[in-house]
A and B are shown apart, each in its own frame.
Chain A
Amino acid sequence: MGNCCSDVGGGMAAVSGAASSAATGNQNDAVDMYLRSHGIHGLFSQIELSFSATSLRDRDVFSKSDPMVAVYIKERDGAINEVFRTEVVLNSLTPTWIAKYTITYHFEVVQNLLFKVFDVDTQYHNVEMKMLKLEEQQSLGEACCTLSEIVTKPNRSLTLDLIRREESVSSTHSQHCGKLTVHAEECFSSKSTADIILRCIGLESKDLFSKSDPFLVISKLVERGISIPVCKTEVLKNDHNPTWKPVFLNIQQVGSKDSPLVIECFNFNSNGKHDLIGKVQKSLADLEKLHLGREGENLYLPTLVGHNYENKILNSKLLVDKFSETVQHTFLDYLAGGFELNFMVAIDFTASNGNPRLPDSLHYIDPSGRLNAYQKAIYEVGEVLQFYDADKRYPAWGFGARPIDGPVSHCFNLNGSSNYCEVQGIQGIMMAYTSALLNVSLAGPTLFGHVINRASGVACDSLSTGAKKYFVLLIITDGVITDLQETKDALVKASDLPLSILIVGVGGADFKEMEILDADKGERLESTTGCIASRDIVQFVPFRDVQSGEISMVGALLAELPTQFLTYMRRRDIKPST
């Protein structure tokens, strides 16, 4: 009954030792699976926040304050939820708290944190932390920031001024009462990955009429002799001297390099009952020694002799053909090393948007302050990316319009200048956008090639000066492009540069043709010279209004950015220098 219904092919595939799982950078496969099944993709890592403070106010009469910190998260809808409390440090105005708060860092979301420092009254000192009612304590001040602000600082420490809000104070300025320092650390005990090629010789036959179909299972030994499988190789058919494909083990997965591992060699049976051919017990450090010494280790098989199990040593050997350790740097490592993400924006000014003075136009600026689709898209992407750009100067362009009686331009500076294209801050983009609407007449057609080439020029210039910058171009458009081949040529040229392109489609047009540009949905792009895009740098999404609680589609796009950044850096072997 078993054979015809079960997925034999799936059962023979390698599990969890492949290179791709090492790329997500998360130390726990179970957490990975959980988050993925809940629709959270992209790069996320665990960060530990630790706290210290200086110059706190002295509230107690006969001794110093006894401070503690409470951490709150500000949700998008304004709700403030408490998530963590440190311990109380007695009698100190410059405390360093030991308790650390673990938070998952999501690149694509702005994570607003609020910190409140309280002085815990002496009568509450024996009460458990969780039971303490914070409203009854005296506030020493509060501060807020976003998680991105902390991780983009060079030493990952952010010092904030504590501010007290008191309703009874008549003066309008808030009083400063000390400083709180928040420090972020990634939760990795080791970022090393071991790349191992294992092979066996002289395996014995377990099948009646054919040779064995061997595969390996590597498990880690925890206390009391229980072993937990960590990874499994693929099954090689009919082979007594098999060499399996390389296995990538994150040293964190197995504990440490000296943790004992059990490597078992099984014979694959399609009914699921695999026979044990032999096993060895080695740590990663032992495997490395085997590789260096070019020796093999004999497998042993626990066999029943009388009433006891004895380990019968076989003639089969396990050999290590390759053992190399590499350090996988994470996205946050690159940020700490000084890398920046530079935001650039290009806005579609073609006539298909409609007359900007009429309320049904996609470019209509509502006097009541409601943002139009273009403004919403700029905010959604800009408010996440702004923390990763040090000088907050963003190149901004428009295309498809006629600036004051000139010919139609397919890439003009949004700020109206003819010399430089940058504006200051997200507010600068908004102001340049609204003033450009008054100064240009919408025209057409919709061409992307010029804007992409301009962005490529900026990226190329930065690359030749050796700057540690990665560029993100946001193109907001309402229609389908008319220069598909030029755009493909421009994209193929840009695919080897430190550039990613997000295309957001607004309005109700049918964007099916735009999906050709996103290699996730189609084939790899090819230019007129036969050159093929070396990376998929385009992500396209139609812009839809987000209902509360939903993960926005633009957010899902942003989640891909750290992975694209890491692919670029790793392929060129660029390391974050610290």
Chain B
Amino acid sequence: METKSRTLEITVLSAEDLRIDNKPVKKNAYVVVSVDAFNNKATKVDGEGGSYPSWNDKLVMEMPLQTRFITLLVKCKGSRGEKTVGLARIPVTDFVGGYSPATCLQFLSYRLRDPKGLKNGIINVSLRVKEPLQGCSSQAAAAGGGNAATIGLGIPIDGRRDYGMVTGIPIWTGYPSHSLF
């Protein structure tokens, strides 16, 4: 019953409102999808889309059981090399278990943040997980919680049974707090 990894089919659809140094991206944006530090794949470069590129590129990757985040890195190929436009980290709990139907196609959109932590556009993906660990239903959310405990996510505070995740944003001193949200 224990499978070592699941297959993730992720189609990187498009992105919205990408900027570098507050100027809209002109062209040649692409996305690198990483399951962990060594396991990553890149989409094709979109030469025409500018700051609203679209790729519709389907990538199939193996996702080991203990994966916690999928990272999407949007980069731009410029004349002076590559620049990172933005980063989104998708917690696996956002699309596995809980209220996510297993093996169904899910459409998700995530906020991109640039290397300084400021908001920089939105990325749209659709994904499907094959060979899920447990059947989907709201009961599985509670059962899935038990599974997470074996991975060692820590002890839940005040006995809550949902093992949700939040993404922290580093606060840099000197930045006005309203620009982060």
Closest to B141 in A: A457
Which residues of the partner chain A approach B105 to less than 8 Å between Cβ atoms? 572
Proximity bits, B161-172, A CB within 8 Å = 1, else 0: 000111100000
Complex Cα spacing A454 to B102, Å:
18
A456 at the B interface (CB under 8 A): yes
Q: Which stretch (A197-205, A424-432, A491-499) binds chain B?
A: A491-499
Query: Quick one: which of A456, A493, A528 contacts B166, CB cutoff 8 A?
Result: A528
Query: Quick one: which of B89, B108, B137, B165 contacts A461, CB cutoff 8 A?
Result: B137
Which residues of the partner chain B approach A384 to less than 8 Å between Cβ atoms? none
Q: Is the CB of B98 within 8 A of A493?
A: yes
Query: Quick one: which of B99, B109, B111, B137 contacts A497, CB cutoff 8 A?
Result: B99
Q: Is the CB of A529 within 8 A of B165?
A: yes
Complex Cα spacing A460 to B94, Å:
14
A530 at the B interface (CB under 8 A): yes
Query: Quick one: which of A464, A497, A529, A532 contacts B91, CB cutoff 8 A?
Result: A529
Complex Cα spacing A534 to B105, Å:
13
Q: Is the CB of B111 within 8 A of A496?
A: no
Which residues of the partner chain B approach A532 to less than 8 Å between Cβ atoms? 109-111, 122
A453 at the B interface (CB under 8 A): yes
Question: How far apart are B140's CB and chain A's nearest CB, in angstroms?
Answer: 10
Query: Quick one: which of B99, B108, B137 contacts A531, CB cutoff 8 A?
Result: B108
Complex Cα spacing A524 to B124, Å:
13
Closest to B137 in A: A461
Complex Cα spacing A494 to B166, Å:
17
Complex Cα spacing A515 to B113, Å:
26
Known contacts A460-B100, A497-B99; decide if A530 and B136 are in contact (CB<8 Å): no
Query: Quick one: which of A460, A528, A529, A571 contacts B99, CB cutoff 8 A?
Result: A460
Q: Is the CB of B90 within 8 A of A460?
A: no
Q: Is the CB of B166 within 8 A of A453?
A: no
Q: Is the CB of A464 within 8 A of B101?
A: yes
Question: How far apart are A54's CB and chain B's nearest CB, in angstroms?
Answer: 46
Q: Is the CB of A529 within 8 A of B167?
A: yes
> Which among A457, A493, A530 has the highest number of chain B CB atoms within 10 Å?
A530
Question: How far apart are A246's CB and chain B's nearest CB, in angstroms?
Answer: 14
Complex Cα spacing A45 to B169, Å:
49
Q: Is the CB of B106 within 8 A of A496?
A: yes
Query: Which residues between 60 and 92 of chain B lie within 8 Å of chain A, taking CB atoms?
Result: 88-91
Closest to B138 in A: A457
Which residues of the partner chain A approach B124 to less than 8 Å between Cβ atoms? 534
B104 at the A interface (CB under 8 A): yes
Query: Quick one: which of B101, B122, B137, B166 contacts A529, CB cutoff 8 A?
Result: B166
Q: Is the CB of A531 within 8 A of B90?
A: yes
Question: How far apart are A195's CB and chain B's nearest CB, in angstroms?
Answer: 16
Complex Cα spacing A454 to B113, Å:
31
Query: Quick one: which of B98, B100, B104, B107 contacts A534, CB cutoff 8 A?
Result: B107
Which residues of the partner chain A approach B110 to less than 8 Å between Cβ atoms? 530-532
Proximity bits, B107-134, A CB within 8 Å = 1, else 0: 1111101000000001010000000000
Question: How far apart are B179's CB and chain A's nearest CB, in angstroms?
Answer: 15
> Which among A463, A529, A572 has the highest number of chain B CB atoms within 10 Å?
A529
Q: Is the CB of A464 within 8 A of B138?
A: no
Q: How many B residues have CB within 8 A of the partner chain? A: 29
Complex Cα spacing A460 to B103, Å:
12
Closest to B125 in A: A534
A506 at the B interface (CB under 8 A): no
Q: Is the CB of B102 within 8 A of A464?
A: yes
Complex Cα spacing A457 to B99, Å:
6
Q: Is the CB of B108 within 8 A of A526?
A: no
Which residues of the partner chain B approach A463 to less than 8 Å between Cβ atoms? 101, 104
Complex Cα spacing A572 to B108, Å:
12
Which residues of the partner chain A approach B106 to less than 8 Å between Cβ atoms? 496
Complex Cα spacing A130 to B159, Å:
76
Which residues of the partner chain A approach B104 to less than 8 Å between Cβ atoms? 463-464
Question: How far apart are A75's CB and chain B's nearest CB, in angstroms?
Answer: 42
Q: Is the CB of B107 within 8 A of A496?
A: yes
Known contacts A457-B137, A528-B167, A529-B90; decide if A494 and B99 are in contact (CB<8 Å): yes
Which residues of the partner chain B approach A464 to less than 8 Å between Cβ atoms? 101-102, 104, 135-137
Known contacts A460-B137, A463-B104; decide if A526 and B111 are in contact (CB<8 Å): yes
Q: Is the CB of B94 within 8 A of A529?
A: yes
Closest to B162 in A: A453
Complex Cα spacing A498 to B147, Å:
28
Which residues of the partner chain B approach A524 to less than 8 Å between Cβ atoms? 109, 122
Which residues of the partner chain B approach A457 to less than 8 Å between Cβ atoms? 99, 137-138
Question: How far apart are B160's CB and chain A's nearest CB, in angstroms?
Answer: 12
Question: How far apart are A77's CB and chain B's nearest CB, in angstroms?
Answer: 44
Which residues of the partner chain A approach B137 to less than 8 Å between Cβ atoms? 457, 460-461, 464
Which residues of the partner chain A approach B90 to less than 8 Å between Cβ atoms? 529-531
Which residues of the partner chain A approach B107 to less than 8 Å between Cβ atoms? 496, 534, 571-572
Which residues of the partner chain A approach B136 to less than 8 Å between Cβ atoms? 460-461, 464
Question: How far apart are B93's CB and chain A's nearest CB, in angstroms?
Answer: 8
Query: Which residues between 527 and 560 of chain A lie within 8 Å of chain B, taking CB atoms?
Result: 528-534
Which residues of the partner chain A approach B88 to less than 8 Å between Cβ atoms? 530
Closest to A463 in B: B101
Query: Which residues between 511 and 535 of chain A lie within 8 Å of chain B, taking CB atoms?
Result: 524, 526, 528-534
Question: How far apart are B119's CB and chain A's nearest CB, in angstroms?
Answer: 9
Which residues of the partner chain B approach A493 to less than 8 Å between Cβ atoms? 94, 98-100
Complex Cα spacing A531 to B111, Å:
6
Proximity bits, A481-508, B CB within 8 Å = 1, else 0: 0000000010001101100000000000
Question: How far apart are A408's CB and chain B's nearest CB, in angstroms?
Answer: 16
> Which among A453, A454, A489, A532 has the highest number of chain B CB atoms within 10 Å?
A532
Question: How far apart are A337's CB and chain B's nearest CB, in angstroms?
Answer: 19
Question: How far apart are A88's CB and chain B's nearest CB, in angstroms?
Answer: 55
Complex Cα spacing A529 to B168, Å:
8
Question: How far apart are A57's CB and chain B's nearest CB, in angstroms?
Answer: 55
Which residues of the partner chain A approach B109 to less than 8 Å between Cβ atoms? 524, 531-534
Which residues of the partner chain B approach A494 to less than 8 Å between Cβ atoms? 99
Complex Cα spacing A571 to B113, Å:
26
**Chain A residues proximal to chain B, CB less than 8 Å:** 453-454, 456-457, 460-461, 463-464, 489, 493-494, 496-497, 524, 526, 528-534, 571-572
Known: A497-B99, A531-B94, A532-B110. 4 other contacts (CB 8 A): A461-B138, A463-B104, A528-B164, A528-B167
Q: List 19 A-B contacts (CB under 8 A).
A: A457-B138, A460-B99, A460-B136, A460-B137, A463-B104, A464-B104, A464-B135, A493-B94, A493-B99, A497-B99, A497-B101, A524-B122, A528-B166, A530-B113, A531-B94, A531-B109, A531-B111, A532-B109, A532-B122
Q: Which 5 A-B residue pairings sit nearest by Cβ, starting from the closest?
A: A457-B138, A532-B109, A528-B166, A456-B99, A530-B111
